[in-house]
Structure 1
Amino acid sequence: MAKLGIPAAPPRGRRIQETITQLRQRILAGEWPVGSRIPTEPQLVEALGVGRNTVREAVRALAHAGVLECRQGSGTYVISTDELAPVVARRLTDDRMAEVIEVRRAFEVEAARLAARRRTPADLAALDDALAAREAAWRGGRVAEFVEADAALHTAVVAAAHNGMLAELYASIGAAMRRTVTQAMGGALTPDRHVDHARLVAAIRAGDPDLAAREAAAFLEPDPGA
């Protein structure tokens, strides 16, 4: 029973559910778009006015539902706003990596084409930053860091296409996409495995949809022996 007129704290289960609802509402409102990283756990504790364990449980529940994805050493990202993306993600398993490449090609080629038509100055700045981070990660020789930076650049291209459904579907293959890049690196960043994405960014900046599409397709050519 509450004392001195102070309302009793809601049961823990209800607090978690309320926190899940608040997080969902912010995602749906576009505060944290698909592909973006949500605030850190301490920031969420302060913003939502709940305890650390409550935030942790709410984030875990949304990750299990396929709305969020926790990436070790990088943070927690929004990968979906609905139920479709988790279904797609569950189907893209390690034994279907060839299919992941084909899906990436379908998404990324069209995203590059649209980005060349629709990019804004803010998009171009984001692409420049992502490209610079990708190259810095490559020079650093750390595979995990490079894989995340590479994914961030491709996500920035998709964001520049300004197609919400495309962004959601692309985010749904994020984990599988990073696995394909990790496999392609073979555990080490050697010169023969480097793929220059500067021309892709340049084509988007130039507003050339056909060239941007060709550049996006060039590094996702199917294996002739597949």
Structure 2
Amino acid sequence: MFAGAGTVLNILTIVIGGALGVFIGAKISEKLRNLVTDVLGCVTIISAADALSAYWDVELQESMPKGWVILVVIFSLLVGALIGSALAIEDRLEFLGNKLKSRFSKNGSSYFVEGFVSASLIFAIGPLAILGSISDGMGTGIDQLVLKSTLDGFAALAFAASLGWGVALSALPVGIYQFAWTAVGLFLGAILTNYQVAAMTAVGGILLIGISLRLLRIKQIAVGNLLPALALAPLFALAAHQFV
């Protein structure tokens, strides 16, 4: 088994699930597609709640003085928002989505970019994407990515039925993101402690809430600009653990 095999499997399941979803979506009405999107938004809240449970992880809470965990989360999001806005990550994701839309979506579906951006963020955010990719790179197995691939395949099918080809093409940024973490595992080994991963996961849960609000058409939060918070969370957690 070669390093990155888990991510290759994940890419394939997203593309296949997305393609099947597009085929199914062509046979259902727009009203039903909107309902499917609403359901997915609600389900994403469940995923967010699962990720947010890491906030109460015992090891995370005991790694720093009482009350500092929430500060780590807040500062990760605030500084991440500043960095993400300066880099215009959300705009770049939408630009890439529009470029792919003009190439692959001849009918100009208004759902293409939303499907691409939302699916990219949903499939990339979460502990399985990071931990599974690192484990893959270290050669300790791809079990976590096999599980993630199964979940993503079914999710891609459901999303693409409502949002179209943009979901399938989200496999591109997801692959780049996970291959990067695989490289971390391959060359640097296990670099994050359990409490750092828990801090990152809790921040990811908040980002997932933002995605659910977008899918439910409640609030268009620029979640892409918050992505740097995922990288900052373990660094701030380490700083709080070492110096506070």
TM, length-normalised to structure 2: 0.30
TM, length-normalised to structure 1: 0.32
More helix as a share of residues: 2
